[in-house]
Amino acid sequence: NGYLKRAQKSTKFRELVVEKLTHVLGLLLVEEDDHKHTSKSLDSKVDQLDHLTRKITLLQNKVTDEEDAKRKTLLRYVQVVKTSQEEGSLQLPESGVGDE
């Protein structure tokens, strides 16, 4: 407002108003460019986050499957050990583990 009051008192009112208007419009363009850049950056980070979420889910599923397989193998081993106590020999043909 102070700028407009000084401009109204000046003989170059039109030039001063045009100068101020171009300055404001220039700032607006810079702000719009900054907004576009920030929006693109945010979209990129969202895409990266989605990718990492899918990757983590895949790795968690893989680890869970491996744990289940190891658990089943261990249970089979324990079962064979319990039954082999009566027979005296240990054989796990499915897993390749034998009496060595």
Q: How confident is the model at residue 100 (pLDDT cuts 50, 70, 90)?
A: very low
Determine, yes or no, domain membership for 11: yes
What is the model's pLDDT at position 55?
Answer: 98
Segment 32-80, tens digit of pLDDT: 999 999 999 999 999 999 999 999 999 999 999 999 999 999 999 888 8
Residue 17's CB: how many other CB atoms inside 10 A?
Answer: 15
Determine, yes or no, domain membership for 15: yes
Q: Assign residue 91 a region: left if phi > 0, alpha if psi is -120 to 50, beta otherwise? A: beta
Segment 9-22, tens digit of pLDDT: 888 888 888 898 99
Determine, yes or no, domain membership for 92: no
Domain count, the chain: 1
Please determine, for residue 89, whether its predicted confidence score (pLDDT) is greater than 70.
Answer: no
| Domain hosting residue 8, numbered range | 2-84
Determine, yes or no, domain membership for 96: no
In degrees and rounded to multiples of 5, residue 94 shows phi and psi of: -70, -35
pTM for this predicted structure = 0.54
Q: How far is CA 27 from CA 33, 34, 48, in A?
A: 10, 10, 31
- Do 92 and 80 contact (CB within 8 A), yes or no? yes
